[in-house]
Amino acid sequence: MTYPTQPTSSHFVNGAYLEDAAGAALPVIYPATGQVIATLHEATPAVIEAALIAARDAQAEWAAMSGTERGRILRRAADIMRDRNRELSILETYDTGKPLQETLVADATSGADALEYFGGLAASLTGEHIPLGGGNWAYTVRQPLGVCVGIGAWNYPTQIACWKGAPALACGNAMVFKPSETTPLCALKVAEILHEAGLPAGLFNVVQGAGDVGRALVTDARVDKVSLTGSVPTGRKVYAAAAAGMKHVTMELGGKSPLVIFDDADLDDAVGGAILGNFYSSGQVCSNGTRVFVQKGIKQAFLTRLAERLADAKIGDPMDEQVSFGPMVSEGQLGIVERYIAKGIEEGARLVTGGKRLDGQGYYIEPTVFADVTDEMVIAREEIFGPVMCVLDFEAEAEVLTRANDTEYGLAAGVFTRDLTRAHRMVAGFQAGTCFINSYNDAPVEVPFGGVKASGVGRENSKAAIEHYSQLKSVFVRMDRVEAPF
Ligand SMILES: NC(=O)c1ccc[n+]([C@@H]2O[C@H](COP(=O)([O-])OP(=O)(O)OC[C@H]3O[C@@H](n4cnc5c(N)ncnc54)[C@H](O)[C@@H]3O)[C@@H](O)[C@H]2O)c1
């Protein structure tokens, strides 16, 4: 099988594709068939060195350009991404296994939104004037950090590359990006498009590899900032390594988010929210509301309607645009999900639907719903990162809020109710970086995205991301005489 827009080499460094066959082989597997569709190579120390040197060399000149000029290049890249959305989406589907129905609307398009948004913001990144007593004053200058390292997860490869690359570049930084070793293809296309749009060589480099390549980047003294999207255990390691070098960090990590459905909720909206928050991208979404707390009065109606709507899921060839549910990203991730399902059954949760691997090729597992789940069960405490919904019962608002917050994570939380006063009360109490009222998993670029507690540090998207890719220099200006004690 061939895919339509095959990158010509493993890495993209200093404005061009780069290969170093001495690196360990990195097979790219199409999750729908299990077939190897390409073999890339992990970055050798020489490739990592070339990327860091290119980034260092290019950054100062880029920072010296006006924000308008930098922004124009990002906005041009956004236009190219939109023009090529279909081919990029097909490649993303080969990389991740996600249905084309999804990748056409949620990956390159989301990446293009970030490029357009931060491109538009680039010219308005300024400091401030601070009047002081005695006619003295100060001003601040917003400056880039320098070389930023981006490290990606495998669920949204194009989006993650753009959500990190666009604000970094808008602020005048250079970036070295390491995609997940499971999905290495699409970030190369992002680099190609950025350079086609006029980005000077060296400013957005892509190097392939697993944790050891990531570690080499994070610990390099030339790197000023690390932005990771990944699991909490990896986040702890990367955060610690970055701290040793006193580097800036953004940590976009995992979650076990609560979704609370009150008796008065619109049933179909609530079921729709629970489906979006558990089964989109076969459940491989960090902010998913996988602990679905359903008030006792609506429980049966909720489960019945959910089962009806799940029967409409079309599972199959992700390239078929009618298909709405694809395979897991890898054999390994499928195994993790199967073990959690077995654990849920062993712990006494009631399997309502799904639970089985599908016969045939590819890493398919049915959308799975457990009911009668209790707070202490492993399936209700640990991030599964697959299509497994846990339905938990509750009776009272105060009780459910305490239980919703009883987790080390704090990425997202949602509430479905027609009582908006109650909705805002719940949201005020949720320990989460992103909350949803009568909705779930919206992630527009204009809105800050990130976690609290173990789910992360910093924010992506929106004006808030600028704070995490720039720093302020304060300049004091004395207008009166200098008074010294002697
Ligand atoms: N909060 C968010 O925005 C967000 C978005 C998507 C996914 N996620 C999380 O990502 C996880 C799934 O992705 P994954 O399995 O790729 O995560 P992972 O933690 O296994 O890997 C993430 C990335 O870190 C790299 N890495 C691993 N060890 C490293 C080390 N010691 N130093 C530097 N880099 C290292 C990996 O190669 C990969 O590129 C889930 O927990 C999910 O919730 C979070």
In which residue are the tokens 């570690």 written? Answer: 215
| Dihedral angle sign, alpha carbons of residues 341, 288, 226, 407 | negative
Which atom of ligand 1 lies closest to the CA of 450?
Answer: 1
Q: What is the mean pLDDT of residues 395-414?
A: 98
Q: Would you say residue 3 has pLDDT above 60?
A: no
User: For position 5, what pLDDT does the model report?
Assistant: 56
DSSP secondary structure string for all residues of 349-406: -EEEE---BPSSSS--B--EEEES--TTSHHHHS---SSEEEEEEE--HHHHHHHHH-
SS3 content of the chain, % helix, strand, coil (to 5): 40, 20, 35
Q: CA-CA distance, 416 to 486, in Å (whole number)?
A: 69
Q: Which of 118, 112, 137, 135 is nearest to 127 (CA)?
A: 137
Neighbouring-strand partners of residue 474 = 140
pLDDT in tens, 18-36: 999 999 999 999 999 999 9
Catalytic residue (choose from 102, 252, 366, 383): 252
Please tell us whether the domain made up of 258-437 is placed in CATH 3.40.50.300.
no
Measured from the CB, is residue 152 less than 6 Å from ligand 1?
yes
Q: Would you say residue 114 has pLDDT above 70?
A: yes
Q: CA-CA distance, 102 to 107, in Å (whole number)?
A: 8
User: For position 1, what pLDDT does the model report?
Assistant: 37
Q: Would you say residue 232 has pLDDT above 70?
A: yes
**Other CB atoms within 10 Å distance of the CB of residue 461:** 22
CA-to-CA separations, 350 to 231, 261, 354, 358, 411, in angstroms, rounded: 28, 19, 11, 20, 27
* Kind of pairing between the strands at 147-151 and 412-416: unpaired
What is the CATH number that goes with domain 11-254+455-473? 3.40.605.10
pLDDT in tens, 416-462: 999 999 999 999 999 999 999 999 999 999 999 999 999 999 999 99
pLDDT in tens, 322-342: 999 999 999 999 999 999 999
User: For position 2, what pLDDT does the model report?
Assistant: 46
pLDDT band at 6 (very low <50, low <70, confident <90, very high): low
- Nearest CA, atom 32, ligand 1: 215
Neighbouring-strand partners of residue 148 = 175, 225
Measured from the CB, is residue 50 less than 6 Å from ligand 1?
no
pLDDT in tens, 244-266: 999 999 999 999 999 999 999 99
What are the sequence ranges of the domains in the chain? Answer: 11-254+455-473, 258-437
Q: Would you say residue 8 has pLDDT above 90?
A: no
Of the chain, the percentage scoring pLDDT greater than 90 comes to: 98
Q: CA-CA distance, 261 to 360, in Å (whole number)?
A: 37
CA of 469 to the centre of ligand 1 (A): 20
Of the chain, the percentage scoring pLDDT greater than 70 comes to: 99
**Other CB atoms within 10 Å distance of the CB of residue 375:** 15
* Kind of pairing between the strands at 204-206 and 174-178: parallel
Q: CA-CA distance, 179 to 153, in Å (whole number)?
A: 7
Measured from the CB, is residue 214 less than 6 Å from ligand 1?
yes
Measured from the CB, is residue 290 less than 6 Å from ligand 1?
no
The best mutation among 40, 110, 151 to test binding of ligand 1, ranked by most ligand atoms within 8 Å of the C-beta, falls on 151
Measured from the CB, is residue 215 less than 6 Å from ligand 1?
yes
- Whether 252 is a known active-site residue: answer yes
Q: What is the mean pLDDT of residues 213-220?
A: 98
Q: Would you say residue 240 has pLDDT above 50?
A: yes
Q: Would you say residue 78 has pLDDT above 80?
A: yes
- Nearest CA, atom 25, ligand 1: 211
469 touches 122 (CB < 8 A): no
Which atom of ligand 1 lies closest to the CA of 411?
Answer: 1
Measured from the CB, is residue 211 less than 6 Å from ligand 1?
yes
pLDDT in tens, 140-161: 999 999 999 999 999 999 999 9
51: DSSP letter: H
* b/e 120-149 (16+ beta carbons within 10 angstroms → b): ebbeebebeeeeeeeeeeeeeebbbbbbbb
ipTM of predicted assembly, 2 dp: 0.97
In three-state secondary structure terms, 438 is coil
